[in-house]
């Protein structure tokens, strides 16, 4: 297997940019919003909050016992990073949407892993809701990058590859 160095040359700086944005925004939140505090941005729709997520994306697996949670979260993070590295090594420069997707996912995964190492939990601060009728779990820049990256993978696999075959 020959690694396409153009892929690495793209993934590393984009992932680093995502990581920097994620860590900087989390720093600002920690400095300016007290834990469980809230700043209303768009009334009834969007708030900036300061909460901590002990689970994985969007609060999943928060109910794992604390004795096991740290080990499980580090394990999930480590496996994800290894898997991303392997996937990145197999992507070619012609798979541009996959390259962008992996960049976003990698940067987001590292951002949340840094929080787990520093705090034992992840700082979340974007709170989207529709009045009192619907409330999405709070998230952060890393979660957004991961979600967008996964959406790009799905689009590439389900839509673009079908077009190329047909």
97 contacts 156 by C-beta, under 8 angstroms: yes
106 contacts 86 by C-beta, under 8 angstroms: no
Q: Which of 6, 5, 14, 162 is nearest to 100 (CA)?
A: 14
9 contacts 123 by C-beta, under 8 angstroms: no
Positions annotated as catalytic residues are 124, 143
Structure tokens given for 135:
């409330």
By CB atoms closer than 10 A (0-12, 13-18, 19+), residue 165 is exposed
CB count, 10 Å around CB of 21?
18
């Amino acid at each position: 297997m020959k690694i396409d160095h153009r892929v690495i040359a793209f993934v590393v700086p984009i992932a680093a940019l995502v990581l920097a944005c994620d860590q900087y925004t989390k720093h600002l939140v920690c400095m300016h919003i007290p834990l469980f505090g809230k700043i209303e941005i768009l009334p009834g729709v969007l708030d900036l909050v300061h909460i901590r997520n002990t689970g994985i994306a969007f609060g999943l697996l928060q109910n794992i016992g604390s004795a096991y949670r740290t080990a499980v979260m580090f394990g999930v993070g480590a496996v994800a990073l290894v898997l991303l590295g392997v996937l990145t090594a197999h992507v070619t420069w012609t798979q541009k949407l996959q390259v962008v997707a992996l960049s976003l996912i990698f940067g987001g995964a590292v951002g949340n892993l840094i929080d787990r190492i520093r705090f034992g939990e992840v700082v979340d601060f974007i709170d989207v809701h529709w009045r009192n009728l619907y409330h999405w779990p709070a998230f952060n820049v890393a979660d957004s990058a991961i979600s967008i990256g996964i959406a790009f993978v799905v689009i590439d696999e389900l839509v673009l590859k079908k077009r190329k075959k047909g």
